[in-house]
């Protein structure tokens, strides 16, 4: 809770989209910890700015966060960039926007054409936004020959 209160005190005056943690929805052994942090951010945020947990693939049917009052949008890491993957968010029992937050990164098992087409596929399937990351953050795990 202290970490959530600190983040809120430090950054809460800025326009933010709170992302509680990386790949914790649907969850793992630390899930309760991240829920406590998210709840503390929400309870101490006078503006009640949008808050989410970064999803680890999957779809809305797998969420462990979607029914929480402090969760307001889906940060999707789509494992399926087709309509059926995104459609689960349209059909979720509570209307919440979803952002294609982390899609495949160029040169990280994704071609240039695939990386370039993902925003179009996301928006064509109703995504509210698109997040872009770069391969460089993952390149350290690969041979320098693949750079």
- In order, the DSSP letters of 107-142 are TSS--HHHHHHHHHHHHHTT-SEE----THHHHTTS
pLDDT tens across 5-39, in order? Answer: 898 889 989 999 899 888 888 766 768 888 999 99
The model's pTM = 0.84
Query: All domains of the chain, ordered by start, with CATH?
Result: 2-135 (3.20.20.80)
Q: Which pLDDT tens digit goes with each residue over 33-56?
A: 889 999 999 999 989 999 999 888
What contacts 117, CB < 8 A, 6 or more positions away? Answer: none
């Amino acid at each position: 809770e202290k970490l959530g209160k600190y983040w809120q005190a430090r950054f809460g005056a800025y326009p933010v989209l709170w992302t509680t943690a990386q790949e914790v929805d649907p969850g793992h052994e630390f899930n309760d910890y991240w829920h406590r942090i998210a709840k503390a951010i929400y309870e101490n945020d006078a503006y009640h700015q949008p808050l989410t947990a970064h999803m680890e693939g999957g779809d809305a049917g797998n969420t462990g966060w979607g029914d929480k009052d402090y969760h307001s949008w889906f940060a999707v890491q789509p494992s399926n960039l087709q309509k059926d993957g995104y459609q689960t968010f349209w059909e979720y029992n509570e209307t919440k926007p979803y952002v294609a937050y982390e899609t495949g990164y160029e040169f990280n098992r994704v071609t240039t054409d695939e990386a370039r087409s993902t925003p179009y596929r996301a928006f064509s399937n109703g995504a509210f936004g698109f997040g872009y990351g770069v391969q460089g953050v993952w390149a350290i795990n690969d041979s320098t020959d693949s750079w």
